Structure 1
Amino acid sequence: MLRIEGLRKQYRTGDAALRGVDLVVPAGEVIGLIGPSGAGKSTLIRCVNRLVEPTSGRILLGDDEVTGASRRALRRLRRRMGMIFQEFALVERLTVMENVLAGRLGTVPFWRSLTRRFPPDDVRNAFATLDRVGLLDHVDKRADALSGGQRQRVGIARALLQGPDLLLIDEPTASLDPKTSRQIMRLIGEVCAERRLAAIVNIHDVALAQMFLGRIVGLKAGEVVYDGPSSGLDATVLTRIYGEEDWTRTARAGEAEAEDDGAAPAPAVSPAAAPVTSMAALRAAAE
């Protein structure tokens, strides 16, 4: 469970990005974070793992306090938080498997990461995770040879390989076409449900949020102005979050798309065989 109490962030310029945010995200729940540009959505996500230092307030992951944690304790806490980025944050010249195994860098000795000799269990889990996100046939491809949707799936697999308790997801569909966006959002919801992960998804697409996220938190000028079911995002609520506009069609479109989206979830898969060292050897050991 993630618990945020009275979170504030004020920059040296005097601008207040967050103004006393309170939020609880139970295990297994995926919430959508919406609001206009500059509302504090990305700042909130980055305060949770302290990529941005909060000015005041408390952040707790389970029973452990993130705010005020020492550098060493923060490193341990960050291992429990998987981050999925809008721009994927992959190493272009590395393969899919190598990028995914980067999710274990915080838990293996330096010499193993330097020589890319990851423990067999880590590599076995990487194969299973890539199978789950639909990329088992692409393990040897370089990241720069992938489509946008495939790259985002690599980012999801890398975050999952950390074995996190929480996913922080920043605009996962911003660079994707509508069909791929639906597939990625569906995948995020499925893996969070399967693994009982709490997750915060920063998302601009209101209709997509309504379609795939049961709970929505609306931010405006650094304050929570809505926290409730996605079905409650009517024109009145959207006006409160974004300001005056004719939101009637937007609200109806989200409801209609949610009703029309009847695709079956992708089945879970069994783990692949355990590999050992170089990418060629990894492939051979798995076959």
Structure 2
Amino acid sequence: MLTLTDVGKRYPTGDRALTDIQLTLPKGQVMALIGPSGAGKSTLIRCVNRLVEPTQGSIRLEDIELTKLSGNRLRHARRSMGMIFQEYALVDRLTVMENVLSGQLGYVGFWRSFLRRYPQDAVAEAFRLLERVGLPHAIDKRADALSGGQRQRVGIARALLQSPKLLLVDEPTASLDPKTSRQIMRLIRELCAERELAAIINIHDVALARQFADRIVGLRAGEIVFDGQPSELTSEILTTIYGEEDWDTTPEPADDEETDEQEKEREAHRYQSGRDLRRLASLADGGVR
């Protein structure tokens, strides 16, 4: 369904983020992308929906060559790709229902969305989705009144309101506690099975990837160094992906310095998620920038 051939990304600084990526993702498969920070996981996801422009290669979604699209043709193709962000990218002052309905931007445009003029069938589907993700009681709550797990559920419902064929999921559990992380990954997995959706999930938690993905792809320095089933992910392969470590012991709690670093990374993702959502909204309204 999704095919990447010789995909590469080099930034104007000369830094190479991706090198000759070859991937085929069939319909209904949940694929986890793992690898150290800076390996190119988020860049790969953003190349697929063209939030980041690849500098070489081919990206095909079914029979559509995504790298050759622009303007309205690209806007229409993006309807088929729902994106779920690490930092949720919700509009805090809007209600849960209004945030979910923003998933219709690719269909109704910015101004109809701004004026809350949504088709009735879209509104009915939004109600059904909020029921499915476990938030029927929160329809009229403002987004800033929700917990992290609830906010991620809103983001999932918003992505599904696009009626996508493919989900692009960028670190959906990085800001969540372990129990909520498992619930969110289980929900994504179940929804993909129910709707025969393919998904690419960028995730740092190897244990969650093993538990909920059909396939794991490991990136290191912008190159694929592993592509296989979760059961094939051995300690030796983890060392190839991440570097030398004792993968059979329980990790020590993070110290304050590591916590500060994680907070900086979350802030960077929060900023990037906001930029991505604003750009998608602009493009949904017919603008290209």
Q: TM-score, normalising length from structure 2?
A: 0.85
Q: Which residue of 2 aligns with 1:154?
A: 154
Which is helix-richer, 1 or 2?
2
Superimposed CA distance per residue, residues 192-244 of structure 1 (whole angstroms, 9 cap, x where no aligned partner): 01101110000001111111112100001111100000111111110110111
Matches within 5 A, 1:238-257: 238-249=238-249
The amino acid that maps onto 1:118 is Y
Query: For 1:100-152, what per-residue CA distance to the aligned partner results, in whole angstroms no more than 9, with x for missing partners?
Result: 00000110155532320211100000000110000011100000000000000
Aligned to 1:113: 113
Post-superposition offset of 1:246: 1.1
1:28: how far off? 0.6
Give 2:10's aligned residue.
Answer: 10
Secondary structure of 1:105's match?
helix
Match of 2:36 in 1: 36
Aligned to 2:95: 95
CA distance in 2, matches of 1:88, 1:76: 23
Change in 2 beyond 3 A, CA 1:223/1:113: same
Q: Output the CA distance in 2 between the equivalents of 1:28 and 1:99.
A: 26
- Is 1:213 the counterpart of 2:218? The answer is no
| Greater Cα offset, 205-214 or 133-142 | 205-214
**AA of the residue aligned to 1:174:** A
Tell me if structure 2 keeps the 8 A contact 1:33–1:216: yes
Mapped partners of 2:110, 2:53: distance in 1: 27
Q: The residue matched to 1:248 in structure 2 has which SS? A: coil
- Find the aligned partners of 1:110 and 1:39 in 2 and give their Cα distance: 34
- State which structure, 1 or 2, has the greater radius of gyration over its C-alpha atoms: 1
- CA distance in structure 2 between the aligned counterparts of 1:249 and 1:209, rounded to whole angstroms: 18
1:164 corresponds to: 164
Q: Take 1:237 and 1:112, find their aligned partners in 2: how far apart are those partners? A: 50
Q: Secondary structure at the match of 1:204?
A: coil
Counterpart CA distance in 1 for 2:250 and 2:179 is 18
Q: Unmatched 5+ residue regions in structure 2?
A: 252-289
SS at match of 1:23: strand
Quick one: distance in 2 between partners of 1:214 and 1:72?
A: 34
The range that moved more, 220-229 or 106-115, is 106-115
Identify the residue that residue 80 of structure 1 maps to in structure 2: 80
Count residues with an aligned counterpart: 251
1:275 is aligned to none
On the 8 A contact 1:234/1:248 being kept in 2, the answer is no
Structure 1 vs Structure 2: percent identity of aligned residues? 69
- The structure-2 alpha-carbon separation of the partners of 1:138 and 1:213, relative to structure 1 and needing over 3 Å to count, comes to same
- Partner residue, 1:65: 65
Amino acid in structure 2 at the alignment position of 1:133:
V
Q: How does 1:115-194 map to 2 (within 5 A)?
A: 115-194=115-194
Q: Secondary structure at the match of 1:108?
A: helix
Q: Distance in 1 between matches of 2:80 and 2:205?
A: 27
Indicate how the Cα distance of structure 1 residues 18 and 116 shifts in structure 2: closer, same or farther if over 3 A, else same. same
Partner SS state of residue 46, structure 2: helix
Q: Is the Cα–Cα contact under 8 Å of residues 36 and 220 in structure 1 kept in the other structure?
A: yes
Q: Deviation of residue 250 (structure 1)?
A: 6.7
The residue aligned with 2:279 is none
Which residue does the alignment assign to 2:270?
none
Q: Report if the CA contact (8 A) 1:207-1:250 is conserved.
A: no
Looking at structure 2, the residues matched to 242 and 110 of structure 1 have their Cα atoms a distance apart, in angstroms, of: 42
Measure the CA separation in 2 of the matches of 1:219 and 1:145. 36
RMSD over equivalenced CA pairs, Å: 1.2
Q: Helix, strand or coil for the counterpart of 1:127?
A: helix
**Is the Cα–Cα contact under 8 Å of residues 130 and 136 in structure 1 kept in the other structure?**
yes
Distance 1:221 1:109, change over 3 A: closer
1:231-278, CA deviations, whole angstroms, 9 ceiling, x for partnerless residues?
111111101101111112379xxxxxxxxxxxxxxxxxxxxxxxxxxx
User: Aligned in 2, Cα 1:224/1:43: closer, same or farther, shift over 3 Å?
Assistant: same
CA spacing shift, 1:109–1:170, aligned 2, 3 Å = closer
- Provide the rounded CA distance (Å) in 1 between the counterparts of 2:250 and 2:216: 15
Q: How far is 1:21 from its partner?
A: 0.3
Unaligned 5+ segments in structure 1 are 252-287
Report the more deviating stretch, 103-112 or 138-147: 103-112
